[in-house]
Amino acid sequence: MRNIIDATTESVDRARDPRFGADGLNIVVATNREASIAAAEKVASAYGRGESLPLAGVSIAVKDNIATLDMPTTCASRILAGYTSPYEATAITRLRASGAVVVAKTNMDEFAMGSSTETSAYGPTRNPIDPERAPGGSSGGSAAAVAAGIVNVALGSETGGSVRQPAAFCGVVGVKPTYGRVSRFGLVAFGSSLDQIGVCARTVREAALATYVMSGADPYDATSADVPVPPLPTDADAKSVASLNGVTVGIPSEYFPASLDAEVRARCDSAIAAMRALGATIVDVSLPHTSLAIPVYYIIAPAEASSNLARFDGVRYGPRAAEVADLRSMYDATRSNGFGAEVKRRILIGTYVLSHGYYDAYYRKAQSVRALIARDFATVFASGVDVLFTPTTPTPAFRLGAVTDPYEMYMSDIFTVTANLAGIPAISLPIGRVDGLPVGGQLLARHFDESRMFGVAEALETALGAGAHE
């Protein structure tokens, strides 16, 4: 019992270390030491009574757009400064019920709009591997929290790769479950047809355990799926995934363009060779509409964002502008001052594509192409392919401030947005380093086939061993 309380105390004290605060790596934006230790005491008591708690005493960090009762939920935005939710996300409730203890909220791109955690109202987060580089985004704080050793497991959210991309940049595991696998209740909405709560973790096993604990239908989320949740992974499962005999791995040509960083390609080739050595059958496949994924995503996501963020007006949420002449002026001043540049850019794009005369030309057409992207995946999986393997990102982590062109920043998600558009599960895991910077490899699977995906990922993780971090 004492070990659970002591472990939580140590974890929350690490989260409060100035090295990880605003004057350091800027990973952690909120803690509540008293609440965390009190929660640990309850877990220790329940564990001592013999209750089944698969995550007993595991410290969890949580992205700042996932609602918690005991810490603010600000989405790293001035417009929600100081806001504390009156309810808690279902994912958090389920993690707590399994014995996990929330010890910190983590920095992020404002309203999850970014790929570098540089758009936060709290300032940018720095990558623990190299503080001069970005940790990725928008869940950069969560990936960095795991990489820095603050916690072994952290929650993030995914709309277009916002868990997997920072996981790749920080050298940790990042999971996006199937759309509907994990309840979105309590996740502040960005793109409702794309958003999913995901997990950053030190290992595949830890990521799988947290994912399954959170999974299952939720009456508070109509988009949550009523499908069976796989059993929690055990130590015995590791032996069963030591071989990939009978597993077919597809290598989509569109994810290995001539422009792909040569060193990233080399690390991917080594990972493919490792899976072949484990008995996997490697086949070349094509996902022909991949090139359209970025423009499709950056029509659909901003359109949904413009609708979802309309509620942040100074009346229903957040501080409102003072000394204004009328209601319209108050709305204008509140939103202009409350939102950062990237959020305003996406709201404007979304409003434009949904406006009269442009809805059919842009939004409806984008949804049609989205269906083609999903069909590409369905066709490949129907051909007998079990999982797909790709690089997670085109390059390792870039320097803070180095990417100023929005389009160039958007292209950092070129290999991840497709999984969100199609709603399929995907995982990034470390497969090596280039000039000391982590490289991530990505596995994608059929809808609700996380078990297969985790099995292949764990086998690859084991085969690469320490080489995944060298």
Is 215 domain-assigned?
yes
pTM metric for this prediction: 0.96
- Integer Rg of the chain from CA: 21
Those residues whose C-beta lies under 8 Å from the C-beta of residue 266, and which sit 6 or more positions away, are: none
What is the rounded CA–CA span in Å between residue 159 and residue 144? 19
Q: What is the CATH number of the domain that holds 409?
A: 3.90.1300.10
pLDDT of residue 327: 86
Considering the candidates 11, 138, 142, 224, report the single residue annotated as catalytic. Answer: 138
Q: How many domains are contained in the chain?
A: 3
Considering the candidates 11, 59, 63, 224, report the single residue annotated as catalytic. Answer: 63
Q: 201 and 336 share a domain?
A: no
Spatial contact of 75 and 84, defined as CB atoms under 8 Å apart: no
Considering the candidates 36, 162, 224, 428, report the single residue annotated as catalytic. Answer: 162
Q: 106 and 222 share a domain?
A: yes
Q: Which of 360, 380, 400 is the last residue of a domain?
A: 360
344 is an active site residue: no
pLDDT of residue 103: 98
**DSSP structural state of residue 399:** B
Q: 87 and 10 share a domain?
A: yes
**DSSP structural state of residue 52:** -
∠ CA 120-123-125, rounded to 5°: 90
Q: Which helix (H) or strand (E) holds 262?
A: helix 262-277
Is 163 domain-assigned?
yes
Q: 145 and 247 share a domain?
A: no
162 is an active site residue: yes
Q: 159 and 27 share a domain?
A: yes
pLDDT of residue 470: 83
Q: 372 and 406 share a domain?
A: yes
For the chain, list residues with pLDDT below 50: none
85 is an active site residue: no
What is the rounded CA–CA span in Å between residue 123 and residue 107? 9
Tokens 């991309």 sit on residue:
165
pLDDT of residue 234: 77
Q: Which two tokens stand for residue 144?
A: 């960095």
Spatial contact of 344 and 334, defined as CB atoms under 8 Å apart: no
Burial level of 199, CB count in 10 A (0-12/13-18/19+)?
Answer: buried
Tokens 């939920």 sit on residue:
73
**Range(s) of the domain holding residue 312:** 294-360
Q: Which two tokens stand for residue 220?
A: 């508070």
Amino acid letter for position 68:
T
Q: 125 and 21 share a domain?
A: yes
pLDDT of residue 369: 98
pLDDT of residue 324: 85
